[in-house]
Amino acid sequence: MRYLDSRNTRTCLPMSDAIVAMRQAFARERQIPQRQLLGSSMFMPGRVGKTSGIKVVSTTPGNPVGIVVVFDQEGSPLGLVDGPTLTAIRTGAVAGLATDLLAPPDASTLAMLGAGAMAPDQIAAVREVRPIDTVVVWSRDITKAEHLADSVGGVATDDVALAVGDAAVITTATPATDPLFEDSMLPQTVHINAVGSYTPSMVEIPSEFVRSAFVVVDDYVAAAAEAGDLLQADRRPDIDLTDLLESGVPNHGDRTFFKSVGIASQDIAAAAQALSTATRLGLGVSL
Spatial distance between the Cα atoms of 48 and 126, rounded to a whole number of angstroms: 24
Handedness of CA 199, 201, 202, 208 (dihedral sign): positive
Q: In this predicted structure, what is the pLDDT of residue 82?
A: 98
CA atoms within 13 A on the CB side of 71: 11
In Å, how far are 54, 175, 186, 189, 206 from 182, measured between CA atoms?
38, 17, 8, 15, 6
> Nearest CA to 244 among 31, 28, 90, 32?
28
Spatial distance between the Cα atoms of 86 and 9, rounded to a whole number of angstroms: 7
Do 272 and 72 meet the contact criterion of CB atoms below 8 Å apart? no
Spell out the domains of the chain, with CATH numbers in brackets. Answer: 2-87+264-286 (3.30.1780.10), 101-259 (3.40.50.720)
- pTM, rounded to two decimals: 0.96
> Nearest CA to 265 among 47, 38, 2, 34?
47
Residues 6+ apart with CB under 8 A from 250: none
3-class secondary structure, 257:
strand
Q: Extract the runs of DSSP E, i.e. beta strands, from 83-233.
A: 109-113, 134-138, 155-157, 169-172, 190-194, 214-217
Each of the 287 residues of the chain gets a pLDDT tens digit; together they read 999 999 999 999 999 999 999 999 999 999 999 889 999 999 999 999 999 999 999 999 899 999 999 999 999 999 999 999 999 999 999 999 999 999 999 999 999 999 999 999 999 999 999 999 999 999 999 999 999 999 999 999 999 999 999 999 999 999 999 999 999 999 999 999 999 988 999 999 999 999 999 999 999 999 999 999 999 999 999 999 999 999 876 678 999 999 999 999 999 999 999 999 999 999 999 98
| Chain centre to alpha carbon of residue 277 | 21
Q: In this predicted structure, what is the pLDDT of residue 249?
A: 66
Q: In this predicted structure, what is the pLDDT of residue 164?
A: 98
> Nearest CA to 270 among 29, 5, 3, 70?
70
Burial of 29 (0-12, 13-18, 19+ CB in 10 A): exposed
Q: In this predicted structure, what is the pLDDT of residue 207?
A: 98
